[in-house]
């Protein structure tokens, strides 16, 4: 079993839709959690951190459930520019980043 798992998608949604991505991690010692975004043929970039209390950044909301070892990302009012692959990232042992395989999102006009 992979340490970080995501639904690979693709998720094809119309503009304006709300879409949610899920991520599960297997190592209970995982300490920090993030969502990265990777555009086609580009490098990954940090989208947002994920905190236990849940956090929001504009149209994006991230949530963490440590008991269930589950992380989510919600995107409201999808834009064409949101089309990308979203990578769930977990830090273990204080240093090593472990990346999920990513979920591909296509927002359609």
Partner 1 sequence: DVKVTQSSRYLVKRTGEKVFLECVQDMDHENMFWYRQDPGLGLRLIYFSYDVKMKEKGDIPEGYSVSREKKERFSLILESASTNQTSMYLCASRRDGNTGELFFGEGSRLTVL
Residues that bind partner 1 (CB under 8 A): 4, 8, 31-32, 34, 36, 42-46, 49, 87, 91, 94-102
Q: Is 98 exposed, middle or buried (0-12, 13-18, 19+ CB in 10 A)?
A: middle
Residue (4 or 107) nearer to partner 1, CB: 4
Measured between alpha carbons, how far is 74 from 76 in angstroms, rounded to an integer?
A: 6
Q: Is 76 exposed, middle or buried (0-12, 13-18, 19+ CB in 10 A)?
A: middle
Residue (2 or 59) nearer to partner 1, CB: 2
- Tell the smallest beta-carbon distance from residue 10 to partner 1 (Å): 13
Residue (74 or 91) nearer to partner 1, CB: 91
- Tell the smallest beta-carbon distance from residue 13 to partner 1 (Å): 22
- Tell the smallest beta-carbon distance from residue 20 to partner 1 (Å): 20
Measured between alpha carbons, how far is 65 from 106 in angstroms, rounded to an integer?
A: 26
- Tell the smallest beta-carbon distance from residue 47 to partner 1 (Å): 10
Backbone angles phi, psi at 81, to 5 degrees: -70, -10
Residue (4 or 78) nearer to partner 1, CB: 4
**DSSP label at 63?**
E
């Amino acid at each position: 079993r992979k340490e970080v798992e995501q639904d690979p998608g693709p998720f094809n949604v119309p503009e304006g839709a709300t879409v949610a991505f899920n991520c599960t991690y297997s190592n209970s010692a995982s300490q920090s959690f993030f969502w990265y975004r990777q555009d086609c043929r580009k490098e990954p970039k940090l989208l947002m951190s994920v905190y236990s209390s849940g956090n929001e950044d504009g149209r994006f909301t991230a949530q963490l459930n440590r008991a269930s070892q589950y992380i989510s990302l919600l995107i409201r009012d999808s834009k064409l520019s949101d089309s990308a692959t979203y990578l769930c990232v977990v830090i273990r042992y204080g240093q090593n980043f472990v990346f999920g395989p990513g979920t591909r999102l296509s927002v359609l006009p």
